[in-house]
A and B are shown apart, each in its own frame.
Chain A
Amino acid sequence: MLPLRQKIGLELAKPIIDRVIREHPLTTLFWECTLRCNLKCRHCGSDCKVTSELKDMPLEDFLPVLESIARETDPHKVMINVTGGEPLVRQDLEKCGKAFYELGFPWGIVTNGRGLTPERYKSLLQNGLRAVTVSLDGIGDTHDWMRGVPGTYPLALKAIRMVAASGEVEYDVVTCVNKRSYKELEQIKELLIGSGVKAWRLFTVFPVGRAANDPELRLSGDEFRGTMEFIKCTSKEGRISASYGCEGFLGKYEGDVRDHFFLCNAGITTGSVMADGSIAACPSIRADYSQGNIYRGDDFMDVWNNRYQIYRDRSWMRTGDCARCKYWRYCRGNGMHLRDARGELLFCHLHRLQEK
């Protein structure tokens, strides 16, 4: 049962969210610039390797995507999130960033921080870098266990402290909460506050990629509720802005553990260009749901304007438990990345909140 406050809030927001879905303005574009990575994360949803058989997408292949977007929208309102793999393994990242900047697009990176030296950071800033997300998945060995390479914790922490101290970009820290890091949440919080961090995003693992068969990564119902309570209390304290990642309708926690009510933005405000040229919605969504491919001659904005119907009308998801769920009108079938190849829902956050 939803508390009255949440119910009023969700009902008031619903017509506005429905309008955003109808208008589907592109505001975020992920570019999976490489599949190469310098870590071996347990939870990784990408098919990353230190050396990938799939070559990095050349900048000149990606630029027509941005030119297509710039012809129809204000580029300053579309954020390019460079992701991977690990974007910092690309030696031409500065050149790429410069080209984005010159076309008028703000851009940022999602990084494990291992390669973010002061010299590299300065060089990226000089080429228009405006946002950084760094991952920190626990204290000391917990982080290294999650990231699969010993000695990465101090490097991530150093990168976080450097970015926080510089004050030159928008940044946040993301933490994947698992059975080990769950016990360290208070410690991580104090560490981040002490490091000058202002924004912290926590997420939990969904059962895809390497995480599919790893029970240590999955929280119990109690632990999941505990995470929500932790975020809620941390936000109330006001010492650091803590929020839960973008996935899942969270019932009584809606609006209290995130700055916004739940909406899976994939294909609504978020698009992606993957390393193999696929035009997708969000990088976490399986390839079955791609909408085109730049290497097959598809124009990005043409695809954005004329395809993506499965993202904008999600009534096809209303099967199984979703068909009987009274919160469908607010949840709309959870995140698209939680749908398998047949369209079945792999994980329901609301169920997990109700489990023991």
Chain B
Amino acid sequence: MKARIKHIYEIIAGAILSLLGFNGCDIIFPVEYGMPYATFAVKGTVKAEDTGNPVEGIKVKFRQHVEGTVDEHGNPQYREIEFYSDKDGKAETRFTEWPDVKDIEIAFEDVDGKENGGWFAPDTLRGKDIRIDLEEDEKSGWHTGTYNISFEEKLKKAAE
């Protein structure tokens, strides 16, 4: 409750400061040495292509390349965030990162063999198979907003 009151106070104070010609909420929080960053909310479902049933226990890897960065061999460097699908086939994670979504991919890997509906082949989603919506409501200071990233994955069975 206390935190909520504080939050409301800060919103109102920020609005009045803006009306007074100051720099809104940023006037309170110095951003001199800040860095742009975004919240990434990645959410989706993993199902079996043949039955349409949810698949549990699939390792989902969100991979992001920040423009310009390379690995020790001079190849584009990717940052990876791992998470897993639950019993309803839902997989989600939330984190903050440099706000760059030009080159992202989501990879799927069956790590429990034949358990949970069989053995599925690995797959990777890119480009228009990944939906990206930028929500700017929480944008403030260096925070550029929240990227809501969603996917619907249909896994093929692996060859025996």
Contacts and interface: CB of A to CB of B under 8 A. Distances in A.
Interface of A: 5, 8-9, 12-13, 15-17, 19-20, 27-28, 74, 76-77, 79, 81, 101, 104, 106, 108, 125-128, 130-131, 168, 170, 201, 243, 246, 255, 258-261, 263, 265, 269-270
Nearest to A106: B35
11 contacts: A12-B17, A13-B27, A15-B13, A20-B28, A76-B35, A106-B35, A259-B23, A259-B32, A260-B26, A260-B31, A263-B30
Contact of A170 (B13, B35, B66): B35
A79 B35 contact: yes
B51 interface: no
B33 A79 contact: yes
B29 A20 contact: yes
A260 B70 contact: no
Contacts of B95: 76
Q: How many residues of B sit at the interface, in one of the four size bands?
A: 20 to 34
Contacts of B28: 13, 16-17, 20, 260-261
Interface in B6-49: 6, 9-10, 13, 16-17, 20-23, 26-37
| Majority secondary structure, B binding face | mixed
B37 A106 contact: yes
A9 B70 contact: no
Contact of B10 (A16, A77, A131, A246): A16
B23 to A, nearest CB: 5
A28 B30 CA distance: 11
- Most A CB contacts (10 A, CB to CB) among B17, B33, B36, B66 go to B33
A60 B29 CA distance: 33
Contacts of A27: 33-34
